[in-house]
Chains A and B, each alone.
Chain A
Amino acid sequence: MPSTGGYMGGLAGLIFAASPVVPRTVWIVTSERLLMQDHSSADPDRPLVYIRLRPVWTYIDGIRDFTGFFCDHTFSEPKLAQRARVVMQETLENAIKYSLRGPESELEVAIHSTGDSLQISVSSTPDPQHLERLRSELTTMADKEPKQAYLDAFARAATSPEASAQLGLARICFEGEAELRLEEQENGRIRLTATGAI
């Protein structure tokens, strides 16, 4: 089990993955702006949290719960932590499930804030077939209100019991109250960013 001790205790925290199953190191770096209570940063490109990890399912619980903890202790909006946990779970699940394996497959997770909004982004190198589905799903959802997209996703799941749930993106938008943006790079790398008001 990775040790998560002290990730909020210093200016920059680290998680070391000691498990022999997952031999690489996972880094969690939190910004010194946290201690200065300055969430509206002079440097918006610099994340409040940056995490780099291999696409391994085991990490999701820890990163999701850290995200909730982080939001709970950094912002004074009671529902924000719940929203952020949904967004982190579903973006990370999506990235890990469909990531290519190999040396270029590391994921990068970042949390940014402008003071009145929160951005959670996950960068990955997905299987090209998944990327097609992701584009298509985002295009379909863009034409709908988040609640309608959510209900449609539930209805689809109800009528396709053998298919995967595919509720994740709709959850991000409706439960997480976030807008999704997909950026693609020529090398096959993508970044899925969820932005929501604080």
Chain B
Amino acid sequence: MSTLAKIDIPELDTATLEIVNDGRVRLSGTIAAQSPASLLRPCFQAIHEAALRDGCRQLEVDVQGLTFVNSSSIRLFIDWAMWIQALEEDRRYLLRFLTHPDITWQNTSFAAIKTIVGDVVSIEAQAA
């Protein structure tokens, strides 16, 4: 079993985070808490470290069902992309965001993240 599959996932009030099939993270619901970082940053960090330990070349993050997030939550995705960018090139993996084409915040936010970090992020818009 991969390290990724063993990660403890926090329970969120208004959203669900799942590790699916060892290689995909799926987020759904709404994240607009005052301090989403307190629960989600350690979890994102653990997923990131597990992806590195498992030698993943890419990690899918399916956010198609994540209908709304606040700025503090967007910030967590920015941080995640920056952690990868800060690695030496041969340790990096591709963070593939699967987005919903009709959800505006997803289209604008992940495009902006990609503009900043470049090739460590890819965005695939698919209808759920």
User: A90 → chain B, closest Cβ, in Å?
Assistant: 7
Contact: B112 with A151, CB < 8 Å?
yes
Given contacts A89-B68, A165-B74, A165-B75, contact A175 B116 (CB under 8 A): no
Residue in B closest to A68 when the chains form the complex, CB atoms: B68
A158 contacts the other chain (CB 8 A): yes
B122 contacts the other chain (CB 8 A): no
Chain A's interface size range is 20 to 34
Contact: B82 with A158, CB < 8 Å?
yes
Segment with Cβ contacts to B, from A20-28, A127-135, A166-174, A182-190: A166-174
A139 contacts the other chain (CB 8 A): no
* In the complex, chain B residues whose CB is within 8 Å of the CB of A79: 104
Partner of B78, one of A150, A154, A168, A171: A154
Give chain B's interface secondary structure class. helix
Interface string of A79-95 (1 = CB under 8 A from B): 10011011001100100
Contact: B78 with A85, CB < 8 Å?
no
B2 contacts the other chain (CB 8 A): no
Complex Cα–Cα for A90 and B75 (A)? 14
User: A175 → chain B, closest Cβ, in Å?
Assistant: 5
Given contacts A83-B104, A86-B105, A164-B72, contact A157 B78 (CB under 8 A): yes
